[in-house]
Amino acid sequence: QVQLVESGGDLVKPGGSLRLSCAASGFTFSDYYMTWIRQAPGKGLEWISYISTGGSTLYYADSVKGRFTISRDNAKNSLFLQMNSLRAEDAAVYYCARGNWNDVRLLDYWGQGTLVTVSS
């Protein structure tokens, strides 16, 4: 069955960096667009970034553009999010989710999330 397992969440100081990972299994990872979504405590969902199947197409929300970098390793069935210059407002649960073969118009599987805390 399809599984997405995020890891890498931690407590980090403002201005610090963190790298999140998402391990995928149960499907042909390289056939799907992948995305990161976050949810601040008590708040709604916010789309962060997505990446195409081969990794050549990348999109970011304005709130993270220039600070976060999405990438993937299809050989290792893994999705990544490098987060730099972290701010208090980046504190959230970060979810990876699966799109479809051509875009992220629908997200049919989600991981359980990994918590990022930004505090001095």
Partner 1 sequence: QSALTQPASVSGSPGQSITISCTGTSSDVGAYYFVSWYQQHPGKAPKLMIYEVSNRPSGVPNRFSGSKSGNTASLTISGLQAEDEADYYCSSYTRSSTLVFGGGTKLTVL
Q: Which two tokens stand for residue 24?
A: 């995928």
Cα 62 to Cα 60: distance, rounded to the nearest angstrom: 6
Residues that bind partner 1 (CB under 8 A): 35, 37, 44-47, 50, 59, 61-63, 95, 97, 103-108, 110-113
β-strand partners of 5: 23
Minimum CB separation of residue 120 from partner 1 in Å reads: 27
- Tokens 């553009």 belong to which residue? 65
Local structure of 10: helix, strand or coil: coil
Q: Which two tokens stand for residue 51?
A: 């990446």
Minimum CB separation of residue 46 from partner 1 in Å reads: 7
Residue whose CB is less far from partner 1, 105 or 119: 105
Minimum CB separation of residue 80 from partner 1 in Å reads: 19
